Amino acid sequence: EKDLLVLGIETSCDETAAAIVKNGREIVANVVASQIESHKRFGGVVPEIASRHHVEQMTIVLEETMKQANLNFSDLDAIAVTEGPGLVGALLIGVNAAKALAFAHQLPLVGVHHIAGHIYANRLVKEMEFPLLALVVSGGHTELVYMKEHGVFEVIGETRDDAAGEAYDKVARALDLPYPGGPHIDRLAQQGKPIIDLPRAWLEEGSYDFSFSGLKSAVINTLHNAKQRGEIIKREDMAASFQASVIDVLVEKTVQAAKHYQVKQVLLAGGVAANRGLRAALEERVSQLDGIELVIPPLFLCTDNAAMIAAAGTVLFQKGKRATMALNANPSLEL
């Protein structure tokens, strides 16, 4: 059978990315232009700056991808693009680039949900076995997704306020750490002790939803009160305590859901999957569950990239999903 070559394009937030994936599982080329440096001094992603960067970078990233793959557009079978959710001005650049290429080269076009992409990053590492459960934790998302088959997603839990990565970034800011704060907290947490009492939002019995804004406020209040009383709280201890609270809830709810849905695999995805504490805790807990395999992609596939979009797009393409030239960016697209 002929190989299936799909070009993926991703511009939902602050990375301009393109990639080519073969048969949904093998990376042929993968290019990511990050804008972190441009957003750092603002302490977060500035949407207008993100859009401008995407405009500047899109063509360069696409050319580099084709060069890496040593392919022509006519060698491709389809183009997959993130249609949402994300920043509308950022998404539009990728969607329009994909439409232009599909039109010019007469190629089928497939719209991909950003979270579906994060989940399918795992398929570039390990073949999926259904049913499975995916924990997606990034700067914009915290979701538990149940899958019975390829391309069908059931969100069984999600955050009611801040995403996990967002909480990391906000707490990091309160601790005077640079953006994005996740990696800094992760590092400090290894050196500190989780001795500060912080809340854990378990929510209602049996709920797989999350909430991190109360935890974030508790950290900020604790720091503020200590300062007023002239007490010193070690940053390392606050980082360790905050991280312990986040991980406890993420891991416990994931394990409960994995048992309840009797899944064969647990997949981890999103930028927060880089967190050493989270990886270690999940590895320990899932290894105690009989017959459940844990899959964690390497870091470059956990953070935003287009290989994951091409991987998800391949499956959707094989299932017959097609977009027309009317495809539009949808900042609040549902999975």
By rule CB under 5 A, what string of x and - marks binding of each residue 293-322 to Zn ion? -----------x------------------
Shorter beta-carbon distance to ligand KG4: residue 43 or 151: 43
Contact 6, 313 (CB under 8 A): yes
Structure letter (DSSP) for residue 210: B
Structure letter (DSSP) for residue 159: B
We find the least distance from the C-beta atom of residue 139 to ligand KG4, in angstroms, to be 3
Alpha helices in the chain (DSSP H): 36-40, 47-69, 88-104, 114-120, 164-174, 182-191, 213-228, 235-260, 276-287, 299-302, 307-318
By rule CB under 6 A, what string of x and - marks binding of each residue 244-273 to ligand KG4? --------------------------xxx-
Q: Does 186 bind Zn ion (CB under 5 A)?
A: no
Contact 84, 330 (CB under 8 A): yes
Shorter beta-carbon distance to Zn ion: residue 192 or 313: 313
We find the least distance from the C-beta atom of residue 118 to Zn ion, in angstroms, to be 6
- HSE-up of 228 (CA within 13 Å, CB side)? 6
140 is in an annotated binding site: yes
CA distance 50 to 92: 11
CA distance 37 to 141: 22
* Residue 272: contacted member of ligand KG4, Zn ion, none (CB under 5 to 8 Å, by partner type): ligand KG4
- Residues forming contacts to ligand KG4 in the complex (CB under 6 A) are 13, 138-140, 165, 168-169, 180-183, 186, 270-272, 274-275, 303-304
- Residues forming contacts to Zn ion in the complex (CB under 5 A) are 138, 304
| Residue stretches of the annotated binding site | 114, 118, 136-140, 169, 182, 186, 275, 304
